[in-house]
Structure 1
Amino acid sequence: MSEQPYILILYYSRTGHTAALASQIARGVARVDGMTARIRAVPPVSPDTDASQPAVPDEGAPWATKDDLAGCAGLAIGSPTRFGNMAAPLKYFLDTTGDLWLSGALTGRPAGAFTSTGSLHGGQESTLLTMMVPLLHHGMVLCGVPYSEKALSETRSGGTPYGPSHWGESNAGGKVSDHEKTICQTFGERLARLAVKLGD
């Protein structure tokens, strides 16, 4: 029996905000028949040269492998903002995928990005746009959130047409707003539907 196609939801989260978005995106993926969500995280990076993380995380999503990435039908990558760009742990993981780029393993598959910030103007949109650059290099088909999703126009916190976002108000464990949840779920469902269509 072959494995059911899946959307890989790949993220780095330091305080739990980005992880919360990943869970909401997975809910949207679950609305689409024939597609499942696979949530995976990347470990922190350190300036030391010794392994500093356990092989299996003590809590949260399992660490991602390149096999998770190579086998996905679609991809959502998520990161907190770091000066208008993705955090180093996610960039580090993506920097190891040159062999997948060379083989064209991800070409033609749908992909998009999501982010969270501690400050209202913390670079959400520039982070999402810069996260799309490696996806384009991999030949992936970009997916955002259309304005037909009313929550995009109504939100007073996170949410952009470039992908879901969350304003964490600088508090660890800040709750995702109802609008942010809706935008995440719409994005997950849209990504999964695109994966089904592009996989035909």
Structure 2
Amino acid sequence: MTRVLVLYYSSYGHVRALAEAEAEGARSVPGTHVDLRRVPETVPAEVRQNAGFALDDTPVASPADLEAYDAVIFGTPTLFGMMAGQMKCFLDQAGGLWARNALVGKVGAVFASTGSQHGGHEATLLSTQIPLQHFGMVIAGMPYTFAGQTTGEEIVGGAPYGAGTIAGADGSRTPSETDLAGARFQGAHVARIAASLAGTNWQEEAA
């Protein structure tokens, strides 16, 4: 079985909806086991409540969990043009995996939710890929074989760098069917790549 982890942080539910679609897409590939997990929250409960954060009972992951998977798909909202601090905090705790080259050769992918089309959507997708490349992961995006990303008939999230949605300035816009289809496409795309790479001994290339 190819093992895929969909790991996300979501404040208001947009990224969680995309994460569920990513997991659905990955599960559509025969021989794939998929787990859906979130990173730990760092915002105090009182602040979350006052800000109207959505409740989320998805199990929490730890950095050590990443090693058990052939692919990890990371989901984050865009905050000031970058990944959320909760996701960055999680990745910052994975130094032990980096030191052991434990994630080398595993597939890494990113999806994101942003308030506006020009609010850092692509910047978040691309910059979140940077630590994944430090880990030695093989980066998978959302290629143009998903033709939905080229439509001009509606507001569409996502890019060649990963799936996504545009939440609107007040967060009232939920992911469209095109956005969710892109996430399902990316999940399946990652699962297929991971299946083809599984079993490779990446330590043989060490120099």
Partner of 1:33: helix, strand, or coil?
Answer: coil
Q: Are 1:80 and 2:77 an aligned pair?
A: yes
List alignment gaps of at least 5 residues for structure 2: 45-54, 200-207
**Residue type of the alignment partner of 2:2:** P
Aligned to 1:174: 173
Q: What is the CA deviation profile of residues 50-74 of structure 1, one whole-angstrom value per residue up to 9, with x for unaligned ones?
A: xxxxxxxx73311112232110110
Which has the larger helix fraction? Answer: 2
The answer as to whether partners of 1:17 and 1:116 remain within 8 angstroms in 2 is yes
User: Counterparts of 2:173 and 2:198 in 1: how far apart (Å)?
Assistant: 37
Q: Of 9, 21, 24, which residue of structure 2 is paired with 1:24?
A: 21
**Residue type of the alignment partner of 1:32:** V
Q: Are 1:60 and 2:57 an aligned pair?
A: yes
Partner of 1:194: helix, strand, or coil?
Answer: helix
TM, length-normalised to structure 2: 0.85
List aligned pairs for 1:10-159, cutoff 5 A.
10-46=7-43, 59-154=56-151, 156-159=155-158
Q: Could you say what the CA RMSD is over the residues aligned between the two structures, in angstroms?
A: 1.8
**Residue type of the alignment partner of 2:179:** E
User: Counterparts of 1:177 and 1:130 in 2: how far apart (Å)?
Assistant: 24
Aligned to 1:196: 195
List alignment gaps of at least 5 residues for structure 1: 48-57
Partner of 2:41: helix, strand, or coil?
Answer: coil
**Residue type of the alignment partner of 1:86:** M
Task: Kindly tell me the number of residue pairs found equivalent between the two proteins.
Answer: 188
TM, length-normalised to structure 1: 0.88
User: Counterparts of 1:123 and 1:18 in 2: how far apart (Å)?
Assistant: 15
